[in-house]
Amino acid sequence: MNKKDFGDDFLWGVSTAAYQIEGAFNIDGKGLSIWDTFTKKKNKIFNNENGDIACDFYHKFTQDIYLIYQLKIPNFRFSISWSRIFPEGVGTINQKGIDFYNKVIDLCLELGIQPWITLYHWDLPQSLHEKGGWTNREIINWFSEYVACCVKHFGDRVSKWMILNEPMVFTGAGYFLGVHAPGLKGIDHFIAATHHVAMCQAEGGRIIRSLHSNPYIGTTFSYSHLEPYSAENENDQKATKRVDALLNRLFIEPLLGLGYPLKDLPMLDKLEKFMHPNDLNQLAFDMDFVGLQVYTRELVNYSLFVPFVQANIVKASRRFVHHTIMDWEVFPDSIYHAVKRIEKYSNIKDIIITENGAAFDDSVNNDRVADLLRKDYLQKHIKKLLKAKKEGSNIKGYFVWTLMDNFEWAEGFKPRFGLVHLDFKTQKRIIKDSGIWYRDFLT
């Protein structure tokens, strides 16, 4: 297997997110985000860590973009910090925030690297959260103002846009389970946030298309390949179907004009009180591509005591299978199954793997990180992706998560996903063996 097998027009890249790498959380006019606030609450984050400094990309972006150039990676996906552009979420624009992203974009283009902007990667301005955030329908207007601002200031040089990052994850973890920012719990918070997020993913696409002359627009979804814990058990099969509706179908099907998967997940009946006339039509938008973020396979069993879904995901460690330190099974076929499943929808144009990667225990020896497990993980997943492509799947690209070790949300700095090792005390960067392999593969 080599790069040529995928064709000359296949897109290879690397992905990052603003809060996970930028730091500079209160510098140059930036307002607070919900993650700036959530991470200061005791015992919410592993070791009570936070992204105040993180990788200090805000100050070291030149060095880091040159690392991308050195690794011969032609596409760089990064997100915009909403509160760096609008410190209060709406209203007055922070020119220093605009200037920062202009410098990032300009350096990428100067080095022949294509910038891909993710508009929302979980860091809602704290001031908007205090007005209800994603549970307040007014966020459709707030988000629209933010998207239009980004297109106005960056659209002359950026044509590749992603609206949202993994809406199921930030609504489920942040508005139902309370383990991510802003830490809200309960079905009502989750249902309200779900509908407004789904409305925004379509509205964001419409705004870009109305303001940009030639955009390539998509959005990203977390996707887990699901199987019943016991293939012969009817209750496990039904539980898997409910979990699939929740994790894999909840946001993509409204976008495709199919509505919410109410039939397979009765709890979604609660959406009715948040629906306005014509909302079903407004949920749909014809994206140019769908981004899939695939990491693992999950096995599901029936559980009477889990509310709403009566299902439980059986952790990889309990199944004694090879897994990452996130307790995610290493199952390369998952990426193949994800592509084959999504392409069954009739109105999908292009599919891009916008995240795929693994966290393992890395060690530095004589300025070298021999991360053989990560290299093996990437090789095997890319090989399975090639299998799907050879079978005719309309797969157009693959982005590794992530450029460098960073702040991994509630897990803090412990999980290391990067192609580049980062010492968070000294900010020293070391390209890992996986990064060297990826460079060689791309060249």
E strand residue ranges, 7-153: 11-15, 75-79, 114-120
- pLDDT score recorded for residue 266: 93
Q: What is the CA 422 to chain-centroid distance, rounded?
A: 21
Nearest 5°: phi and psi at 95?
Answer: -60, -35
Q: What is the pTM of this model?
A: 0.98
- Count of other CB atoms within 10 angstroms of residue 186: 12
- pLDDT score recorded for residue 159: 98
As a whole number of angstroms, the distance between CA 108 and CA 312 comes to: 44
- pLDDT score recorded for residue 101: 99
Of the candidates 166, 203, 298, 408, the residue annotated as catalytic is 166
Of the candidates 22, 253, 329, 355, the residue annotated as catalytic is 355
Query: Helix 167-175 vs helix 187-211: angle between axes, to the nearest 10 degrees?
Result: 150
Query: Helix 95-110 vs helix 139-154: angle between axes, to the nearest 10 degrees?
Result: 50
- Clarify whether 272 is annotated catalytic: no
Pair 28, 394: CB distance under 8 Å: no
As a whole number of angstroms, the distance between CA 23 and CA 40 comes to: 14
- pLDDT score recorded for residue 186: 96
For the chain, the helix, strand and coil percentages under 3-state DSSP, each to the nearest 5:
40, 20, 40
As a whole number of angstroms, the distance between CA 385 and CA 395 comes to: 8
Structure tokens at 107: 């350096």
Greatest Cα-to-Cα distance within the chain, rounded to the nearest angstrom: 63
Structure tokens at 273: 């009180």
As a whole number of angstroms, the distance between CA 57 and CA 283 comes to: 35
Structure tokens at 142: 């707030």
Nearest 5°: phi and psi at 20?
Answer: -75, -20
User: For residue 8, with 0-12 CB atoms within 10 Å meaning exposed, 13-18 middle and 19 or more buried, which class applies?
Assistant: exposed
SS3 338: helix
Sign of the CA dihedral running 360, 363, 367, 368: negative
Q: HEC states along 58-92?
A: HHHHHHHHHHHHHCCCCEEEEECCHHHHCCCCCCC
As a whole number of angstroms, the distance between CA 432 and CA 210 comes to: 42
The CATH architecture annotation of domain 3-442 reads Alpha-Beta Barrel (3.20)
As a whole number of angstroms, the distance between CA 27 and CA 134 comes to: 25
As a whole number of angstroms, the distance between CA 16 and CA 313 comes to: 27
> Tens of pLDDT along the chain (443 residues)?
999 999 999 999 999 999 999 999 999 999 999 999 999 999 999 999 999 999 999 999 999 999 999 999 999 999 999 999 999 999 999 999 999 999 999 999 999 999 999 999 999 999 999 999 999 999 999 999 999 999 999 999 999 999 999 999 999 999 999 999 999 999 999 999 999 999 999 999 999 999 999 999 999 999 999 999 999 999 999 999 999 999 999 999 999 999 999 999 999 999 999 999 999 999 999 999 999 999 999 999 999 999 999 999 999 999 999 999 999 999 999 999 999 999 999 999 999 999 999 999 999 999 999 999 999 999 999 999 999 999 999 999 999 999 999 999 999 999 999 999 999 999 999 999 999 999 999 99
As a whole number of angstroms, the distance between CA 72 and CA 182 comes to: 37
As a whole number of angstroms, the distance between CA 155 and CA 210 comes to: 12
User: For residue 214, with 0-12 CB atoms within 10 Å meaning exposed, 13-18 middle and 19 or more buried, which class applies?
Assistant: exposed
Q: Name residue, tokens 């959380």.
A: 25
- pLDDT score recorded for residue 79: 99
Q: Which residues pair with 313 in a beta bridge?
A: 300
**Do you find a cis peptide bond into 215, omega within 30 degrees of 0?**
no
- Clarify whether 355 is annotated catalytic: yes
Rg (the chain; Cα; Å):
21
As a whole number of angstroms, the distance between CA 244 and CA 246 comes to: 5
